[in-house]
Amino acid sequence: MRYPHLQLSANPHDRTAVRRGDEEWLERRWADPRSRVLVVSGTRVRPRDGRVEWISPAEAPEGVRVLLGEHDGRAWFAVVTDVSLAQGGDPAEWTPLRGLLPGLLDDAAPAAPLVFHALGLAEWLFATRFCPRCGEPLQPRSSGHELACDNGHTQFPRTDPAVIMVVTHGEPGAEDERCLLGRQAVWPAGRYSTLAGFCEPGETLEDAVRREVLEEVGVQVGEVEYFGNQPWPLPASLMIGFIGRALTTDVRVDEREIEDARWFTRAEMKAQAEAGTLALPGGVSISRSLVEHWYGGPLPGHW
């Protein structure tokens, strides 16, 4: 089956990292009217008709010029300005990445990886102003992919690995096999999702799965199988999907991150999703792909 989250990773661009310091090449591409630019104010963009708007370099404002790479025979850039551009106009016109996700699935739109690349870097540039080693101001270089201070300390964009897992119990494929989903207290009634959490220093991804499940719902996990991954720059994560096999089934939620967690058979999941009493994650997320992979096909309804 085709997994929904792969739509946001399809058709990636050539990042042309070797060109990030090639000023002559960069100026030629910037002067080319076929090149496209995404304007980012702080960490927000201004879409047009629900789609991300790409403009020519001649139309772009001043800001940090970021080389994204090459795609479809042209160069792609982002210009990261400060937040004043968005603040000076109608704030409702400027949208964070989460609000852009539906438009990124449009076949007529440029590849979503270009937008993920641009906004992931914009978030890092916005949040990283001073050197963590000496406190001196940081300045961008290498087409926005490095930050350096006057003392010679260099910072690079960070990506935080996060595990996300569907936990199962029972004979795989059996009628009584169950999967475990949880919910947070702030979510609307009926909304459930896979469990997730960040990997800690010195920890394997598989052990992060076991630790997070035990901490959040009190269930012990044994075998952990890799499923897939999804860039998720909200603000700087890589979601790494797993299938975990439960060794225990008693649920004890931590009541801090997780308000409730429940086991679902396939029949229960289908019936409740069709009735609208169970709302599963949206199709663009790897969480949805994990659930439908375990279920064996598409399910109705989503957040």
Q: Give residue 87's pLDDT.
A: 63
Residue 302 has what pLDDT?
Answer: 78
Regions of the chain short of the pLDDT cut 50: none
Q: How far apart, in whole angstroms, are the C-alpha atoms of residue 109 and residue 101?
A: 11
pLDDT at position 139: 97
> Would 216 be classed as within a structural domain?
yes
Same domain, 97 and 210: no
What pLDDT is recorded for position 48? Answer: 85
* Domains in the chain, number: 2
Q: Whose CA is closest to 164, among 74, 296, 289?
A: 289
Same-domain pairing of 150 and 166? no
What is the full DSSP assignment across the chain? Answer: ---GGGGGGSS--B--GGGTT-HHHHHHHHH-TT-EEEEEETTBB--BTTB---B-GGG--SSEEEEEEEETTEEEEEEEE-THHHHHS-GGG-B-HHHHHHHHT-TTSPPHHHHHHHHHHHHHHHH--B-TTT--B-EEETTTTEEE-TTS-EE----EEEEEEEEEESSTT-TT-EEEEEE-TTSPTTB-B-EEEEPPTT--HHHHHHHHHHHHH---EEEEEEEEEEEETTTTEEEEEEEEEES-------SSS-SEEEEEEHHHHHHHHHHTS-BPPPTTSHHHHHHHHHHTS--S---
| CATH code for the domain in which residue 128 is found | 3.90.79.20
The CATH number given to whatever domain includes residue 279 is 3.90.79.10
First to last CA, the chain: 21
Q: Same structural domain for residues 42 and 146?
A: yes
pTM exceeding the 0.85 threshold for the entire prediction: yes
Do 166 and 129 lie in a common domain? no
Answer yes or no: do 136 and 252 share one domain. no
pLDDT of residue 90: 67
State whether 20 and 146 are in the same domain: yes
